[in-house]
C-alpha cells in the first residue's frame, strides 16, 4: 500500500510541475537567438520583407533617394549591433588588463561573438580581444548603400526583388536560393534568398567582417582606428578588391559611384513604402 501511495503522489506531483512548466512556456515570452546575442542592442521591430518597384520611379534622382532611404534603416541597425558588440569587447579587454575575473555571462557572450565572426582561440586574453576587435567593427554606411546599388541595379534585379539579396551573396546547397540564368556549365552555386532585408544586410556585414577574402578591408579599418579615424567608405572600398572578378575595375566603379551619388547619400526623413 505504501508503494502505491508514493506512486500516486509522484504522479500527481509530476502533473503539477508539468503544468507549471507549461504555463511558464506559454505565458512568458522567450528570447529569440538574436535577442540573446545582442545584449544591449535594440531590436528592430520594422523588418522589411518586400521591395518597392524602384524601376517604376522614372525620376532618376527620386529613385536613388528612394533606394538609399529604403536600405538605410537596416544598415544603421546592423551597425548599431556591431557597435554594441565592440563596446562589450572593449569592456572585456579593460577587465583583463585589470586582472579581473570574467563572469560566466561575459564568457558566454564572448564565445557567441567569436563564433559569429568565425574566430577561434584556445584562451581568452588581451591579444584574443585585440584580434576580435579587428573583425567586430562597423561597415561604412555609404559603402554599403553604394555597393547594394551596384549589385542590384538600384534595386531592380531579380535577386533583390525575389530573394531580398542586395549584395550578390552565393550559397552552395542545391535549392538554397535562386539559380542564376547565366550560370556557367559545371557550376552549382545559387544566389542566396533571405527572409528580410535586415537578414541580407546582416549576412553581408558578417561576411566582410569574417571572410578571409576581405582581410585587407579589415586591415585598412584597423589602421584607421589606430590613427583615431572613423572608418570611411572611400578608403575601405579598396578592401573589396576580391568581391568581384573584375577586381580593380570594380573598385574604380564603386569609387565613381560614391563620387557621383554624394547628394543622394545624404539622409532624409522621407519614408518609402515596402510595397
Which has the minimum average pLDDT: 24-28, 131-135, 144-148, 157-161?
A: 24-28
Burial 42-81 (b: 16+ CB within 10 A, else e): eebeeebeebbebeebeeeeebbbbbbbbbbbbbebbbbb
The three-class DSSP label of residue 269 is coil
250: CB partners within 8 A, 6+ apart? 240, 241, 243, 244
The three-class DSSP label of residue 122 is coil
The mean pLDDT value for 170-199 works out to 69
pLDDT of 24: 33
What is the Cα–Cα distance from 190 to 147, expressed in whole angstroms?
20
pLDDT digits (tens, 9 = 90+) for 96-125: 999 999 999 999 999 999 999 999 988 999
Which has the minimum average pLDDT: 34-43, 155-164, 168-177, 214-223?
A: 34-43
* Average pLDDT value for the chain: 82
Neighbouring C-alpha atoms within 13 Å toward the C-beta of 203: 19
What is the Cα–Cα distance from 261 to 158, expressed in whole angstroms?
23
At residue 193, does pLDDT exceed 50?
yes
pLDDT above 70 coverage of the chain, percent:
73
pLDDT digits (tens, 9 = 90+) for 130-156: 999 999 999 999 999 999 999 999 999
At residue 55, does pLDDT exceed 60?
yes
Contact 221, 233 (CB under 8 A): no
Q: What is the pTM of this model?
A: 0.78
pLDDT of 175: 59
pLDDT digits (tens, 9 = 90+) for 204-222: 999 999 999 999 999 999 9
Backbone angles phi, psi at 192, to 5 degrees: -60, 145
Amino acid at each position: 500500500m505504501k508503494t502505491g501511495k508514493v506512486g500516486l503522489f509522484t504522479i500527481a506531483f509530476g502533473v503539477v510541475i508539468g503544468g507549471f512548466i507549461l504555463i511558464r512556456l506559454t505565458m512568458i515570452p522567450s528570447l529569440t537567438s538574436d535577442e540573446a546575442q545582442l545584449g544591449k542592442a535594440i531590436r528592430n521591430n520594422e523588418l522589411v520583407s518586400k521591395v518597392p518597384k524602384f524601376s517604376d520611379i522614372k525620376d532618376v534622382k527620386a529613385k536613388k533617394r528612394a533606394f538609399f532611404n529604403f536600405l538605410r534603416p537596416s544598415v544603421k541597425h546592423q551597425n548599431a549591433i556591431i557597435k554594441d558588440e565592440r563596446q562589450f569587447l572593449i569592456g572585456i579587454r579593460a577587465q583583463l588588463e585589470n586582472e579581473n575575473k570574467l563572469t560566466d555571462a561575459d564568457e558566454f557572450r564572448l564565445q557567441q561573438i567569436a563564433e559569429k565572426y568565425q574566430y577561434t582561440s584556445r584562451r581568452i586574453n588581451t591579444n584574443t580581444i585585440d584580434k576580435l576587435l579587428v573583425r567586430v567593427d562597423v561597415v561604412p554606411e555609404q559603402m554599403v548603400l553604394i555597393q547594394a546599388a551596384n549589385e542590384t541595379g538600384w534595386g531592380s534585379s531579380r535577386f533583390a526583388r525575389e530573394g531580398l539579396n542586395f549584395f550578390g551573396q552565393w550559397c552552395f546547397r542545391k535549392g538554397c536560393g535562386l539559380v542564376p540564368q547565366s550560370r556557367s556549365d559545371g557550376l552549382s552555386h545559387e544566389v542566396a534568398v533571405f527572409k528580410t532585408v535586415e537578414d541580407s544586410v546582416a549576412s553581408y556585414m558578417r561576411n566582410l567582417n569574417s571572410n578571409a577574402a576581405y582581410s585587407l578591408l579589415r586591415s585598412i579599418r584597423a589602421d584607421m582606428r589606430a590613427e583615431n579615424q572613423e572608418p570611411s567608405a572611400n578608403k575601405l572600398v579598396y578592401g573589396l578588391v576580391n568581391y568581384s572578378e573584375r577586381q580593380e575595375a570594380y573598385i574604380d566603379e564603386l569609387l565613381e559611384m560614391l563620387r557621383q551619388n554624394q547628394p543622394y547619400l545624404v539622409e532624409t526623413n522621407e519614408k518609402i513604402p515596402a510595397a
